[in-house]
Amino acid sequence: MTSAARHSHRGAPVAVLGALCGLLLAGGCGGTGHPSAPGGGPLPFLGLVPNPTDASFANPDSNLAAIQLLQSTGVDFTQSGDLWSSLEPTPGAIDGARVRFQARVFATLGLAQYYNLRIVDTNQRGVPADLAATAWDAPEMLARVDAMVDTLLAVAANWPFVALSLGNEVDGYFGQPAHQAEFPAYLALVRREIARIHAARPGLKVACCTTSPPANPAAWVGDSLNASTDVRVYTYYPFVPASDFQHRPPTVLDGDLDAIVERGATPVLLQEVGYSSSAACGSSPAAQAEFVRRFRLWHARQSRDRVLGANYFLFTDWTSATLNRLFAYYGGTSPGFAGYLGGLGLRDSLGRAKPSWEAWRAP
């Protein structure tokens, strides 16, 4: 789905993270432990993107309160990521400070972290501007990817990642006829980086995020990549194919997610799971609540050897100002797309609970 510009908004800026870290060092904030799966062993990691209201986003107390509230419901995991271009705004000058500090804060909070380096981001490249037209297998591209990945590995040496992804929903880009010819070179790039990462940090799981396979005509992209990855990372938003972001019924969740797990032998990590409450998507607050309830119950039946983790998206709806920035990033909108992005939260944009919030708390 839309993992792109959202990250720049939902990932707290360094100033907020700094204030959060100060609060944590003063008062502490522990995780909730790791409950056991039905067959023994730990449950999959559980995340819920902890955005407060847009109006209080810059307030560290609000961010900390949101995280602590969600931890009280079993949340022990977070996902984060950056466009490669945002970490290397000047060619060859990589700024890893935000990633390092963010990883430190998440570790202090007691949250396991998954990180996505968005080399490709849904429907476009995420590379620095000077590489916009460079082939994926060109020597200068490979050298720059190596340097960027090495920066992330230095972070992971101190604050380990649950997994590291090399691209976000890349089937949205390589599934387009105009870009399919680029895919073999990108696949080779990913395989190269997997080998380098395994040599440098054995045990770090490497992936490449794609949208979920059910009803996805570009599922071949993920299948091709996942023949080499350690974990299969997907985003899951159940839409009617070829529609304007119309949701399928909440009852499809169990079958879809079971099929995703059984599609391969490696574990699954659900980077994002979500369902809008908007009527523009053929949904409703009640339908969203049913979807959330099914997700919580499905998660509670899994074990970490097959489902590494699952991250629900989103705690609080975005305001129209934030949505307009996202529409600009993606190059337009439609009634369904607006309803989809505008209704993903378990609370509305003012922080008022929807039925789905109660479904999350007491499935």
Closest of 350, 339, 326 to residue 53, by C-alpha: 350
- For the chain, what are the domain ranges? 5-361
Q: Say if residue 14's pLDDT is above 60.
A: no
pLDDT in tens, 279-330: 999 999 999 999 999 999 999 999 999 999 999 999 999 999 999 999 998 8
Average predicted confidence (pLDDT) for the chain: 91
Mean pLDDT of 182-193: 98
**pLDDT > 90 fraction of the chain, expressed in percent and rounded:** 83
Residue 214 reports pLDDT greater than 50:
yes
Distance CA 258, CA 256 (A): 6
Q: Residues of 299-315 as b/e, b for ≥16 C-beta within 10 angstroms?
A: beebbeeebbbbbbbbb
The vertex-113 CA angle with 122 and 274, nearest 5°, equals: 50
Angle (deg, nearest 10), helices 183-200 and 219-226: 30
Give kind and range of the element (H or E) at residue 205: strand 205-207
The structure tokens listed for 213 are 């396979």
- Which tokens in the block code for residue 184? 């073999």
Question: Residue 182 is encoded by which pair of tokens?
Answer: 């680029």
pTM of the model as a whole: 0.91
Residue 316: partners with Cβ closer than 8 Å, 6 or more residues away: 51, 52, 53, 54, 66, 345, 346, 347, 348, 349, 351
Return phi, psi of residue 77, to 5°.
Answer: -150, 150
Q: Are 81 and 3 in contact (CB under 8 A)?
A: yes
CB half-sphere exposure, 227, CA atoms < 13 A: 7
Q: Which residues contact 91 (CB under 8 A, 6 or more apart)?
A: 128, 130, 144
Domain 5-361 of CATH type 3.40.50.1000: no
pLDDT band at 331 (very low <50, low <70, confident <90, very high): confident
C-alpha 307: how far from chain center: 15
Contact 144, 129 (CB under 8 A): no
Which pLDDT band, with edges at 50, 70 and 90, does 17 fall under? low
Give the pLDDT band of residue 266 (cuts 50, 70, 90). very high
Amino acid letter, 181: A
Buried b / exposed e over 205-220, threshold 16 CB at 10 Å, is bbbbbbbbbbebebbb
